[in-house]
Structure 1
Amino acid sequence: MRSPRTTRRRVLAGTAITLAGSLLLAACSGGTPNDSSDTDRADGSEKVTLKLWTWSNEARVALQGGVLDLFTEQHPNIAVDILVQPDKDYQTLLTTGLSGSGGPDIAAIRSYGVISSFAEGGNLAPLDDVITDWSGFSDIALQGVTARNDGKIYGVPQGMQTAQVYYNKKVFSDLKLDVPTTWDEFLEVSEKIKASGTAPIVIPGAVAGQIALAGEVLGNARRGGNGWTDEFVAGEKKLTDADSVASIELMDEIQPYLIDNVTSVTLDEAVTIFATGMAAMYPSGTWQVASFASLGAKDLDYGTFDVPVDKGWPSAKPVTVAYSDGGWALSARSENPEEAATLLNWLSSAEYFQAYANAMGTIPPRDGVTLENAHVSEMYERYLDNSSTYLGLAYLRYGTPWGTDVYGEQVQKLWLDQQDAAGAAAEIQKGIDAWFDPADFAG
């Protein structure tokens, strides 16, 4: 795996987005401003209505709020009917919709194992030759929408997520603390914050997947970044490897600095705890910018940083954990494949992402985009500089049990003094041994 193209730096600029990010509100939507029945236009040509499904009400709001107007102005013969399906039922509804009639022409599908399973089921059309230009997209973005079985691309990436440490600038300033530049300094900063009476770190310790995400933020560089991941996927490394175990040990090292009763903290609680200043640091994803805004935390002055490395770590510099955040896919049963291809090509354009990324507050998966939010722009810059794929999401969710679930469960035991790092690594490896085969990812 390679880092995104460094030439993308030229597109950076920035300050401010309204992020409607990853707080996925499930709601059903009826007609849209672009919604219409197929009718004949004045010039005699037929107007086609494409059905587009998503689980994200925020995506619908962004698209209907002006983004899609750019498309329909250029293609007046194509209307787009957007339907938001309930998030909790989305996979089931989409399976039914794609396998029969009445389903979507284009659907938002989650990345990696999810989109791969839909492709393997024959419900999606490959897009390799449908999209005329893939050159602007990063490798990580395309990896997330590429099927494991045939290596073909089945989605136009919607956006990227990065994960890093959020920190409360006021707490740091009051205690005269600088952003740490080594792991040892990170622990020293945590100790000083704890001594002040504020919890140093909050993690949603009741949620296995959120623990796994935090573990990736803290441990990706310690494990060895993309270099280690390449060896793991090639079958040359296992999760019981010394560097992998050492990355889990970091989760044990931070245990004294976690908020009390961390294993009972939910995701919503963690967001609130950080936003209200009860905890000084929070390892999480880009979407939290929207979470803080939605809470009305106007007085929250925060920044972000990548976890610093220590001398002797496999990664010589900090990494930005990144992953592809789903894609727009084409139904193999679409009755309007030509018009759908026209829309998908527009959904892959820099023009689209310039509007959509700034409406949604997401990091674009391709170059040619100028971000307007200071926080997201800063994350984007670090992503371009030295990104590293989120191992658990990219490779450990193609079978049961998910590696990220086992990781979260084992770290919970670690924090409760019921497990050690080596034992946790062994259990995670044992879990994925039930289905993981490096040969599945060859090429």
Structure 2
Amino acid sequence: MTRTTMKGLLLASSILGSAGLAQAQDATLTIESWRNDDLAIWQEKLIPAFEAKNPGIKVVFAPSAPTEYNAALNAKLDAGSAGDLITCRPFDASLELYNKKHLADLTGLSGMENFSDVAKSAWTTDDGKATFCVPMASVIHGFIYNKDAFDQLGLSVPATEEEFFAVLEKIKADGNYIPMAMGTKDLWEAATMGYQNIGPNYWKGEEGRLALLKGEQKLTDEPWVEPFRVLAKWKDYLGDGFEAQTYPDSQNLFTLGRAAIYPAGSWEISGFNTQAEFKMGAFPPPVKKAGDTCYISDHNDIGIGLNAKSKNADAAKTFLTWVASPEFAEIYANALPGFFSLNSTAVKMSDPLAQEFVSWREKCKPTIRSTYQILSRGTPNLENETWVMSANVINGTDTPEAAAKKLQDGLDSWFKPVK
């Protein structure tokens, strides 16, 4: 064999080899999402961290406007033009995509073992057999308070229902602050920051929620009526004109230092950090009595799945396994304080308020909002009806018992318990 032939063969084999390598590795993945406010975090932190470890895979984050996402995504999926990775809303919207065979089954994906059943519940089929999105983050409910106001009035953080109302009473008697900033005009605020925030301590979180799904408990049972009774007592502490107060009004009352306590979702943390000029703290929903197990609403907010028709499925699975890792969890949760990793590996938060919220997972049992899984598929929609009833109870236009009966009657009209 001549040297020229040898060189030609070597060159040919090296070209073929590199072409084979390119095919195996080079892929560009596109992520569909409604979180257009997250663009910088993906471009500056998450994607560079992934690409550094996976040089053959490029990732493009291509969000739509939140209000247009569902319609735009469905149109792209139907047309076969959607990205490889689909950011998943919790529960029925994503389940529908899976049932239409738009999302792949990820049950066996490496990394899925890093999530509990509660963490996966928003992206698992009703029978529990298939999981179709990797859980990314949840939001936690509780109360954010003005530390300066508490110090000024000599108040301690309440741990029980009785202590909670004693604190509200002292703030009211002092007269310098509205005890609690929450309005009922937007309806959802009363349910989300009120009923779903404190309720899990009464219905025992997942125990009660699953009993409701199985038909073993009803919304007229004591554990479901009692949180309404507690909410009815909030009326005296919400300040004048709370019935006409919108959600942005409540946020402003608190961040301007006019209210001492804010019933909260952890998604408020970033905004409050930039707007409030006082020190803030947080406490979990007070338990009924000292020594009771505490429960928190640790509600699944966002996941990510695989387009079943992706041409880059292997590369996409490599990416999803990374999303399931503690490394992703740490970067994401710290970049977005208040959106907490659902990974079983605890993530240390650099933001003190976010760290306070997430620390409750160590001592309280997590659950999700009671209305979100299965119970809001029919008409009347239990989630929307709970908004109305929570506002009515606080406004005093419905009794706790009447509100619970209306909710159960509505549910009975279409819901058959899950066997």
Give CA deviations for 1:157-200 in whole Å, capped at 9, x if unaligned: 11121100111111111111111232122111111111222211
Indicate if the aligned counterparts of 1:400 and 1:435 stay in contact, CA closer than 8 A: yes
2:244 counterpart (229, 254, 264): 264
Q: Which runs of 5+ in 2 are unaligned?
A: 1-14
Counterpart in the other structure of 1:174:
152
Alignment of 1:35-434 (within 5 A): 43-44=18-19, 45-46=22-23, 47-129=26-108, 131-148=109-126, 151-197=129-175, 198-214=177-193, 215-295=195-275, 297=276, 299-311=277-289, 316-361=292-337, 362-368=339-345, 369-389=347-367, 390-434=369-413
Alpha carbons of 1:99 and 1:385: their partners in 2 closer, same or farther (altered >3 Å)? farther
Taking the aligned partners of 2:54 and 2:204, their CA distance within structure 1 comes to 47
Taking the aligned partners of 1:210 and 1:280, their CA distance within structure 2 comes to 18
Give CA deviations for 1:68-118 in whole Å, capped at 9, x if unaligned: 111112222211121110111111111112222211211111112222222
Taking the aligned partners of 1:235 and 1:370, their CA distance within structure 2 comes to 39
One-letter amino acid of the counterpart of residue 417, structure 2: P
Alpha carbons of 1:311 and 1:357: their partners in 2 closer, same or farther (altered >3 Å)? closer
Query: Helix, strand or coil: the match of 2:114?
Result: coil
State the 1:65 CA deviation.
Answer: 1.1
Taking the aligned partners of 1:308 and 1:113, their CA distance within structure 2 comes to 31
One-letter amino acid of the counterpart of residue 105, structure 2: P
Query: Helix, strand or coil: the match of 1:326?
Result: strand
- Identity over aligned residues, as a percent? 26
Q: TM-score, normalised by structure 2?
A: 0.89
One-letter amino acid of the counterpart of residue 278, structure 2: L
Q: CA RMSD in A?
A: 2.2
Q: Which runs of 5+ in 1 are unaligned?
A: 1-39
Query: Helix, strand or coil: the match of 1:207?
Result: coil
Taking the aligned partners of 2:297 and 2:314, their CA distance within structure 1 comes to 37
Structure number with bigger Rg: 2
Taking the aligned partners of 1:126 and 1:399, their CA distance within structure 2 comes to 26
One-letter amino acid of the counterpart of residue 51, structure 1: T
One-letter amino acid of the counterpart of residue 289, structure 1: I
Indicate if the aligned counterparts of 1:323 and 1:394 stay in contact, CA closer than 8 A: no
Which segment drifts farther, 200-209 or 240-249?
200-209
Give CA deviations for 1:308-335 in whole Å, capped at 9, x if unaligned: 22349xx923322211112101112212
Query: Helix, strand or coil: the match of 2:402?
Result: helix
Considering fraction of residues, name the structure with more helix: 2
Taking the aligned partners of 1:145 and 1:49, their CA distance within structure 2 comes to 25
Higher RCO structure (Cα 8 Å, ≥6 apart): 1
Alpha carbons of 1:336 and 1:279: their partners in 2 closer, same or farther (altered >3 Å)? same
Indicate if the aligned counterparts of 1:137 and 1:367 stay in contact, CA closer than 8 A: yes
Taking the aligned partners of 1:151 and 1:253, their CA distance within structure 2 comes to 42
Taking the aligned partners of 1:384 and 1:398, their CA distance within structure 2 comes to 33
One-letter amino acid of the counterpart of residue 111, structure 1: P
Indicate if the aligned counterparts of 1:271 and 1:291 stay in contact, CA closer than 8 A: no
State the 1:406 CA deviation.
Answer: 0.7
